[in-house]
A and B are shown apart, each in its own frame.
Chain A
Amino acid sequence: MSAKRRRQKDSSFTPALVFLNLLIIGVIALMIFFIYRFITSEDNAASERTTPAPRTSRVVTEIEISEEAEEITTTQIPISMTKAITTTPASVTSSGNENNERIEIKFTEYDPDFFKDDLFIGDSIMTGISGFGFIPAENVYAKVGLNPESLLNTEIDGKTALQKIKDFKPRNIYIMLGTNGLDFMSGEYMAQGLGIFIDDIISFGINSNIIVMTIPPVTEAHDAEGKETMTDINVYNSYLIDMAAEKGCKLVDICSILKNSTGYFSDKYAEQDGLHFLGTAYKAVLGYLQEELQ
């Protein structure tokens, strides 16, 4: 082999060898890098598997309500002994004005524990009591569109209202229902429907207090739409008062505490649609209920 060719042979290997070495080193480095990332991502995934937050356990402790349950601090009055009470808030006084102005009552405080054994039954308005988080969902049996007629046959989460009551065994049952029926049912008919439901509760032998709540007002703007009007609300509420008296149930007039001085739903309580509640309304209602029942 000539010297020249020998030199070429020698020199031709040098850059190739360097390149090859660099290539191999690069490949090995890349492999190490990605193996490391793979290992660390596995570790992160393992540590991120946090224990799921515990499902909400029922706030209410199931209480076997019986005649011997004297330890229940709130008064548990057998239904047969109650007299229907048409309550007007004690702190509301008539100003003596011919327009019947009312002083707005401000109930802003309530004790959630007071209601922990109670069940709230109602329509979309009642869904908000748990929607806003004031009362746990387990203590609410409510559905959009529910009315006194459909209450008897509707199921929510696979249960009728009576089944829910039977399973839940509430201390108090609050019923606020009728807004959805105003447009197509008479107040008298709806009150009768609620009366039938109350009869069913009693016939089940459930020893819970039943509290009938008047349905809430609407704003003047909503009233003007003609679907749910204060005239119909007032008529229906008067039938509710009579029905509650007939059945021996307590009645709580929440409608009156939510009105403004002109007799419509107060803006400080009313949702944009003039029918549903803001959070302030639920606080007011719960505070008033607690005061009435304590």
Chain B
Amino acid sequence: MKRLKIILLTGLMLIGISCFTACEGSNEISLENQPNTADIANAVMEAVDFPSATAKTINDLNNYIDLEIENIYQMSYYICGSGAYPDELLILKLKDKSYSEDAKKAIQKKLDSQIETYRDYTPDEMYKLDGAKIIVKNNWVFFFATADNDKTEEIINSYF
């Protein structure tokens, strides 16, 4: 009986360890099974007013933000094409979460520059930049400065 109890306890421990590793493994969803950046971007564009929204490709990205393109698995990027307004939406799905911090720093630099530019140029638009956010979720980095930043964040969160 004592031996049986030992065997049972050992087995339970093994199951527990297996479950723990299983749980850890299930958090790592493959890149292709993660949401599509375009779906999230489209959802935001449909819900939030974004003047002269112009989609930019990954080839254009470095003209606006100094990011390492090689680290990007997928992206969606919108700017106000006319240059009249500071509206911006960037959704990055990076190849690994280790790249997120560098991406965040680069975007923060861009945001700081925008704030400096638009503060005197169009003060009425500053609310978009004052409420702008850079959000990191594992290998995802979101940057948005829109007419409704709260709504944008709500939409993004609904995908995670």
Contacts and interface: CB of A to CB of B under 8 A. Distances in A.
Interface of A: 12, 16, 19-20, 23-24, 26-27, 30-31, 34, 37-38, 41, 44-45, 48-49, 52-56, 124-128, 130-133, 137, 144-145, 271-273, 275-279
A132 B52 CA distance: 8
Contacts of B73: 48
Interface of B: 1, 4, 7-8, 11, 14-15, 18, 21-22, 25, 28, 30-32, 51-52, 54, 57-60, 62-63, 69-70, 72-73, 79-85, 95, 117-118, 120-122
A237 B31 CA distance: 55
22 contacts: A23-B11, A26-B15, A37-B25, A48-B95, A49-B95, A53-B57, A54-B59, A55-B62, A55-B69, A56-B59, A126-B83, A127-B83, A128-B82, A131-B82, A132-B52, A132-B82, A133-B60, A144-B83, A145-B117, A271-B52, A272-B84, A276-B84
Contacts of A24: 11
B5 to A, nearest CB: 10
Nearest to A37: B25
A278 B52 contact: yes
A250 B78 CA distance: 36
A54 B62 CA distance: 12
Closest 3 CB pairs of A and B: A276-B84, A127-B83, A132-B81
Contacts of A137: 60, 63
Given A55-B62, A278-B82, A31 B54 contact: no
A31 B84 CA distance: 58
Nearest to B95: A49
Nearest to A276: B84
A41 B24 CA distance: 14
Contact of A131 (B28, B72, B79): B79
B32 A34 contact: no
A274 B51 CA distance: 13
Nearest to A44: B30
B120 A27 contact: no
A278 B84 CA distance: 10
Nearest to B29: A41
A34 B22 contact: yes
B108 to A, nearest CB: 19
Contact of B32 (A48, A132, A144, A272): A48
A144 B57 contact: no
B137 to A, nearest CB: 18
Given A133-B54, A145-B121, A41 B28 contact: yes
A24 B22 CA distance: 17
Nearest to B96: A45
Given A132-B54, A271-B51, A273-B85, 16 more contacts: A30-B18, A37-B25, A45-B30, A45-B31, A52-B70, A53-B57, A53-B58, A56-B60, A125-B83, A128-B84, A131-B79, A132-B81, A133-B60, A144-B121, A145-B117, A145-B121
Contacts of B84: 124, 128, 271-273, 275-276
B18 A133 contact: no
